[in-house]
Amino acid sequence: MQQKDAAGESFQFVVGDDESGARLDRFLAERPELIAAHLSRSRIKALIEEGRVTLRGAAISDPAKKLSSGDAVALDVPPPAPAEPQAEDIALDIVYEDEHLIVIDKPAGLVVHPASGHESGTLVNALIAHCGDSLSGVGGVKKPGIVHRIDKDTTGLLVVAKTDAAHHRLSALFADHGRTLSLTREYLAFVWGVPDRAHGTIETFLGRHSIQRERMAVVPESRGREAITHWEKVADYGVASLIRCQLETGRTHQIRVHLAHIGHPLVGDATYGAGFKTKVTKLPEEAREAVEKLGRQALHAATLGFEHPVTAEEMMFESELPEDLSVLMAAFEKI
């Protein structure tokens, strides 16, 4: 049954005795009315930070604010903003498209949506040109249709919503991260060194680095969000290896931070693997040249599977390694 969109509506709640001490964002994310209106916890967090929530009549912008019994909480959900970025003629590698969604194989160097320092030349600009008015506005002015992201220099698959209904349902899938709903996200990662096990799971909490704010870091639970990555060793090259990663959560830089955390940072990752630069100089010439020409982290979103938000058909997409990573693999295989 089609459910009503919350855009342009206001909601009021009172904190119960058994909810005292709950975080504001978690309290709102658990309200049946907001669940029915397809408001994810990440969307609710953004609304809080935008000043759309009042607590005891005063605006509050801290999603982690602790609540007390009897607190009155009000949430104002604005109508979806139109996509303001300009259409740009940027080539897209379209893997699949219908009237509800579009699956893109993103190249390295393409930023997903406009942000500080990247106001144009993004995937969003290309999508506006390609889709015209048929692009979900739920993501807001800067992120129309964007359900999930991959880093600028990570290649591979991502899905974009073309309608609001598809956006709501895809967002629910990605918020669930395949725990109870149908979603598969697998990455191929070339890392330094060789893990001493065939597979494993990394479970930590991730948050902003205390000093270098552009970086993420493993932090105490009180400062971060749960992050879970399952990994499997695919190939052993001696000095490096190929790892397949499956995400159970989707935090910023999650794979990059997690693999560095266990001592196997991504090849080419200047942010989280800078301490491994000397390894490059010790490689055979062909492998050294492949790494030096790479100029990015060796990470590729290779598999994306999900239940179609409208037809309920099981969709599964595979992306072959791009040329630069194929060259890197061939060079490592000769070591």
Task: Give the chain's domain count.
Answer: 3
Let me know if residue 144 belongs to a domain: yes
- Confidence check: pLDDT of 108 > 90: yes
Which pLDDT tens digit goes with each residue over 56-67? 999 999 999 999
Q: Is 151 a catalytic residue?
A: yes
Q: Tell me: the pLDDT tens digits for 150-173? A: 999 999 999 999 999 999 999 999
Residue 275 has pLDDT above 80, yes or no: yes
Kindly indicate the confidence band of residue 181, based on its pLDDT and cuts at 50, 70 and 90.
Answer: confident
Confidence at 175, pLDDT banded by 50, 70, 90: confident
**312 domain-assigned:** no
Q: How far apart are the first and last CA of the chain?
A: 57
Could you tell me if residue 105 is inside a domain? yes
Instruction: Tell me: do 248 and 294 sit in the same domain.
Output: yes
Where residue 159 falls (left for φ over 0; alpha for ψ -120 to 50; beta otherwise) is beta
Model confidence band, residue 5 (pLDDT cutoffs 50, 70, 90): very low
Chain mean pLDDT for the chain: 90
Look at residue 152 and tell me if it is in a domain. yes
* Residue 218 · residue 205 · CB < 8 Å: yes
Q: Does the structure show a pLDDT above 80 at 283?
A: yes
pLDDT at 83 over 80: no
Say what the pLDDT of residue 276 is. 85
Q: 329 and 217, same structural domain?
A: yes
Q: Are 130 and 164 in contact (CB under 8 A)?
A: no
Q: Which of 151, 164, 269, 324 is catalytic?
A: 151
Query: At which of 39, 60, 76 does a domain end?
Result: 76
Condensed to tens digits (0 to 9), the pLDDT of residues 115-126 reads 766 778 899 999
CATH code of the domain in which 27 resides: 3.10.290.10
Four-CA torsion 184, 252, 226, 175, nearest 10 degrees:
-50
Please check whether residue 317 lies inside any domain of the structure. Answer: no
> Are 159 and 191 within one domain?
no
Query: Would you say residue 201 lies in a domain?
Result: yes
Element (H, E) at 157: strand 155-161
Shared-domain flag, residues 90 and 194 = no
Of 175, 209, 227, which marks where a domain is finished?
175
The pLDDT, as a whole number, for residue 81 is 55
Identify the residue with better confidence: 28 or 84.
Answer: 28
Q: Do residues 226 and 297 share a domain?
A: yes
Q: 28 and 91: one domain?
A: no
pTM for this one? Answer: 0.74
30 and 164 belong to one structural domain: no
What is the C-alpha to C-alpha distance for residues 310 and 284, in angstroms, rounded to an integer?
Answer: 51
Q: What is the CATH number of the domain that holds 160?
A: 3.30.2350.10
As a whole number, mean pLDDT of residues 199-219 equals 91
pLDDT at residue 211, rounded to an integer: 84
Domain boundary among 118, 146, 175: 175
pLDDT at residue 273 in the model: 92
Amino acid at 86: Q
Domain ranges, residue 68: 10-76
With a cut of 70, say whether residue 141 has pLDDT above it: no
Evaluate whether residue 3 is within a structural domain: no
**Tokens representing residue 140 in the block:** 């807001």
Same domain, 292 and 192: yes
pLDDT for res 87 = 87
Q: Are 54 and 135 members of one domain?
A: no
Q: 69 with 84, same domain? A: no
For residues 325 and 30, give the distance between their C-alpha atoms in angstroms, rounded to a whole number.
42
Question: Do 106 and 152 sit in the same domain of this protein?
Answer: yes
Q: Report the percent of the chain where pLDDT is more than 70.
A: 95
- Do 197 and 287 belong to one domain? yes
